[in-house]
Amino acid sequence: MAVLGARQGSGVLLRPELVLTSAHLFRRDDAVEVAAPNGDGRVPCDVVWSGDPKTCDMALLVARRPVLSFRHAAPLRWGKCAGWQPMPRCQVLGFPRVQRYAGEELEAAQVPGTLMPLAGRMRGRYVLHADHHPPAPVLDGSPWAGLSGGPVFAGPLLIGIASGDPMGWQHSSVESVPLAAAMENHGFREALLSHWPDAPAFEEVSSAYPEDLIYEPAYAKAVKAAYSRLEIFGLDELSSGDWDLDTAYLSLEAQSPHARSGPRRIEDLLGSRPRTVLRGEAGAGKTTLVWWLASHTVCRTLPEQLSELDGMIPFVVPMRSLAARGITSPTPSQLPKIARLPVDRPPDGWAGRVLEAGRGLLLVDGMDEIPQVDRELARKWLAGLLRMYPRTRCLVTVRPLAVGGGWLEQEGFEELRLLPLGDSDIRSFARSWHRAARLECDRYPDEHWAERQRNRLHALEYELDQEFGRSEALRDLARTPLLCAVICALHRQRNGFLPKTRWDLYSAALNLMLATRDIHRRIHQPEGIELTVDEGRQLLQRIAVWLVRNGRAELTREQAVRQLESALRGLRRVRSQGTPQAVLAHLLNRSGLLQERSPDAIQFIHRTFQDYLAAKELQESDCLDELLLHAAEEQWQDVLRLAVGHCGRSEERRLLAGLTAAADAAPDRETEWPLRNLAAHCAVNARYLEDVQYEQVWEGLKGLLPAVSDGEFLFMDADVLAALGDMGLSPGEVYVRPPAERPPD
């Protein structure tokens, strides 16, 4: 905009009534007006602060009425040079004398150039060398007269205010006062914040690539689009869409293995830990947390505890996708592409520059979802990347037993574990689930019907809340967000009647997804195929067990079709309805259990359902020996935990005997411990187990505990933890054994 006082200059509008310009254009008591293109004429202003033109050549003006409306304007961003390399593609805007026309009429100029951070450093100035031929000299001053006070931009960042035409450069350069230097002036900072309390924080410009700054808003928009929506189990009955993540997001509790204090909210713990390995059970909310961090980081809306992450550039690395695509050691240039965001290709080298500047937030999700043999390679990749870019913040999520303690300790990682939902969190999550369900009622065209459904959901919410308050067994089933959502969905679908065990819960959830879901929606033979619950389960079991046997979390369409071809040999009724390709399309479209998140990459909506179905297939096909053969492998252990619920009496005895024998033969404590823990889980959940075998399992577990060193901590299965009281042990005594010299967390 033009600034009109004793001399004509330029300025930049910070807010509808706040203008930043140069101090040397006028004195404090001068009458000053401003005029903006597309504005409503000249607007009188008051000078609320003016610096010394020799040291801080800036002034703040407050207009007596709004100069322009900011209703649809993007937020102004401020930057400062953090490097010394020349920065091309910068520009200064204003109304210089050389641009005037038709009798001294003002016209705006846009002067592109290269910023030279070192050229004016001794005088506290930035110097912009113009890209075009310098303007012709004038007899009585500078052709750039009138440009003073104009904004200097590096990409979208305002970094300075034009202040002069340095001598000796034949008008080819423009000097400016850095904004960062002005903020060091107490008077300027006080005046600015009194009129603009939420002035933006400074962003560092540390490279010669301002095009990075132009690209980053597009990347941020794509991250928000990809990760601010969430599929909530049980709510797709109402809609095929997804839900705003914050609608059902629950702040989870976590604990450090070295903490002497009690559990804390995950946001409180992550803020002080630049690098974290976060362990959590299946369905504990690890991926939801990663998505929440990514979407809020780019939007600068994180809570105060995580404010240091606001504005960082998140790179989400879903390890299951890497495994499916055969990528073992992604380079920085591959990081923005792994998640397949809906955004154009970034400028060459952009991701590396982000990491080099310490602006990257690496979110590595599901380290357990790659084969165990590849995890050491993944650790070396991550360690090498972080040594190359030591200022990068990083969060790695993994299931509790997938990697050993101290797996990334040498790289400065600290361990945290997500804890099971507490009683109050279970009820809070259930309220959020029902609130999200009621939101869908707003879309119903029949308001009378919508109101009836809202009232029904209110009643169900109240009934379930009362049931959670009465039943400890139900609360114990709902200790993860996934299972809590399953309970909410089944409670709604069954009008208040709920399963009593975890296996009944999964079985009912499968029934809900495979049969009653379409019946209640009055959908008959979609795609010309109709499956019974058992037929759908048999087909999904073949896919699930293939994934487990191959150490995979995703498979291609071709691989899925081959598994269905094999399953259809024994399902003549289904085979008569369509090809394996048509059956796969039906399962993807109708089951709600399979999804294709990216082209040719099929996966279960949650790995817990994959493991449950694989366990059922192995039990039905008399492959318990195969399970026991892989008992020491972490990726099979969750399948074993679920298999015990499918077993008959003789199978339970056989499974427990095999696990005990494997633990007895283990070469070291590191191998023995997860086997003992696994055997204890199976013993707790076995429906029929004689006392002799039950005691044998627990004696083996207790025999390990006294040998645990002070620096070692052990992760316990939730069911095993719950049973420790009966064995005369304290859960805290086993869950964490902090070293004596470690200070309190």
Beta-carbon contacts of 740 under 8 Å, excluding residues fewer than 6 positions away, are 710
**Which range in 64-68, 190-194, 246-250, 719-723 is most confidently predicted, on average pLDDT?**
190-194
If residue 247 lies in a helix (H) or strand (E), which one and from where to where?
A: helix 245-248
Instruction: Give the least confident one: 259-263, 666-670, 728-732.
Output: 728-732
CB atoms under 10 Å from CB of 193, counted, come to 12
Instruction: Give the least confident one: 164-178, 316-330, 554-568, 656-670.
Output: 316-330
* Mean pLDDT (the chain, rounded): 85
Closest Cα to residue 639, out of 663, 672, 604, 613? Answer: 613
* pLDDT of 333: 92
Distances (CA, A) of 295 to 31, 217, 292, 358, 597: 47, 13, 5, 19, 18
3-state secondary structure 100-125: CECCCECCCEEEEEEEECCCCHHHCC
Q: How many CA atoms lie within 13 A of 122 on its CB side?
A: 1
* pLDDT of 114: 92
Tell me the one-letter amino acid at 341: L
- What does the block give as tokens for 610? 């994959």
Q: pLDDT tens for residues 43-72?
A: 999 999 999 998 899 999 999 999 887 664
Tell me the one-letter amino acid at 696: Q
Radius of gyration of the chain (CA): 32
- Structure confidence at residue 658 as a pLDDT band (50, 70, 90): very high
Beta-carbon contacts of 643 under 8 Å, excluding residues fewer than 6 positions away, are 615, 618, 619, 624, 627, 655
Averaged pLDDT for residues 331-350: 90
Is the confidence at residue 241, as pLDDT, over 70? no
Averaged pLDDT for residues 564-581: 92
DSSP state of 515: I
Tell me the one-letter amino acid at 185: N
Beta-carbon contacts of 391 under 8 Å, excluding residues fewer than 6 positions away, are 355, 357, 358
* pLDDT of 272: 87
pLDDT above 70 as % of the chain: 89
* pLDDT of 149: 96
Closest Cα to residue 588, out of 604, 571, 606? Answer: 604
Is the confidence at residue 179, as pLDDT, over 60? yes
Please report how the helices 669-685 and 691-704 are oriented relative to each other, as an axis angle in degrees rounded to 10. 150
pLDDT above 90 as % of the chain: 45
* pLDDT of 714: 55
More confident residue, 488 or 236: 488
Query: Rounded CA gap, 572 and 124, in Å?
Result: 82
* pLDDT of 717: 63
Alpha helices in 576-690, H assignment, sequence order: 580-586, 607-620, 624-629, 634-643, 649-664, 669-685
Closest Cα to residue 637, out of 668, 671, 603? Answer: 671
* pLDDT of 562: 95
More confident residue, 398 or 404: 398
More confident residue, 513 or 471: 471
- Structure confidence at residue 519 as a pLDDT band (50, 70, 90): very low
List beta partners, residue 35. Answer: 2
Given the DSSP bridges, would you call strands 360-365 and 393-398 parallel, antiparallel or unpaired? parallel
Beta-carbon contacts of 592 under 8 Å, excluding residues fewer than 6 positions away, are 236, 513, 517, 605
* pLDDT of 711: 39
Closest Cα to residue 320, out of 390, 255, 282, 370? Answer: 370
Q: Is 475 within 8 Å of 423 (Cβ atoms)?
A: yes
* pLDDT of 722: 57
- What does the block give as tokens for 428? 């809070």
pTM beyond cutoff 0.85:
no
Alpha helices in 495-592, H assignment, sequence order: 502-511, 517-520, 533-549, 557-568, 572-575, 580-586
Query: Rounded CA gap, 417 and 399, in Å?
Result: 9
Query: Rounded CA gap, 453 and 611, in Å?
Result: 34
Q: Is 115 within 8 Å of 127 (Cβ atoms)?
A: yes
Query: Rounded CA gap, 382 and 403, in Å?
Result: 14
Q: pLDDT tens for residues 465-489?
A: 999 998 887 888 888 888 888 889 8
Q: Is 75 within 8 Å of 15 (Cβ atoms)?
A: no
Is the confidence at residue 497, as pLDDT, over 80? yes
* pLDDT of 720: 66
* pLDDT of 525: 53
* pLDDT of 703: 82
Beta-carbon contacts of 695 under 8 Å, excluding residues fewer than 6 positions away, are none
CB atoms under 10 Å from CB of 135, counted, come to 20
More confident residue, 693 or 721: 693
Query: Rounded CA gap, 295 and 300, in Å?
Result: 9
Task: Please calculate the CA angle 283-640-685 and round it to the nearest 5 degrees.
Answer: 80
Q: Is 425 within 8 Å of 253 (Cβ atoms)?
A: yes
Tell whether the torsion through CA atoms of 569, 571, 576 and 580 is positive or negative.
negative
Instruction: Give the least confident one: 472-481, 508-517, 642-651.
Output: 508-517
Is the confidence at residue 659, as pLDDT, over 90? yes
Is the confidence at residue 17, as pLDDT, over 70? yes
Query: Rounded CA gap, 191 and 197, in Å?
Result: 10
Averaged pLDDT for residues 624-650: 92
Q: Is 666 within 8 Å of 639 (Cβ atoms)?
A: no
Q: Is 343 within 8 Å of 316 (Cβ atoms)?
A: no
* pLDDT of 293: 95
* pLDDT of 152: 96
Is the confidence at residue 73, as pLDDT, over 80? no
More confident residue, 61 or 726: 61
* pLDDT of 581: 92
- What does the block give as tokens for 541? 């079991």
* pLDDT of 103: 67
Instruction: Give the least confident one: 378-387, 517-526, 644-653.
Output: 517-526
- Structure confidence at residue 233 as a pLDDT band (50, 70, 90): low
Q: pLDDT tens for residues 284-330?
A: 889 899 999 999 999 888 998 998 898 899 999 998 777 767 777 89
Query: Rounded CA gap, 116 and 123, in Å?
Result: 13
- Structure confidence at residue 745 as a pLDDT band (50, 70, 90): very low
SS3 169: coil
DSSP state of 74: P
Is the confidence at residue 178, as pLDDT, over 90? yes
Q: Is 623 within 8 Å of 578 (Cβ atoms)?
A: no
- Structure confidence at residue 523 as a pLDDT band (50, 70, 90): very low
How many residues belong to the chain? 745
Q: What is the DSSP string of 337-370?
A: HHTT-SSPPPPTTHHHHHHHTT-EEEEEE-GGGS
CB atoms under 10 Å from CB of 379, counted, come to 17
* pLDDT of 459: 95
Q: pLDDT tens for residues 540-552?
A: 999 999 999 998 8
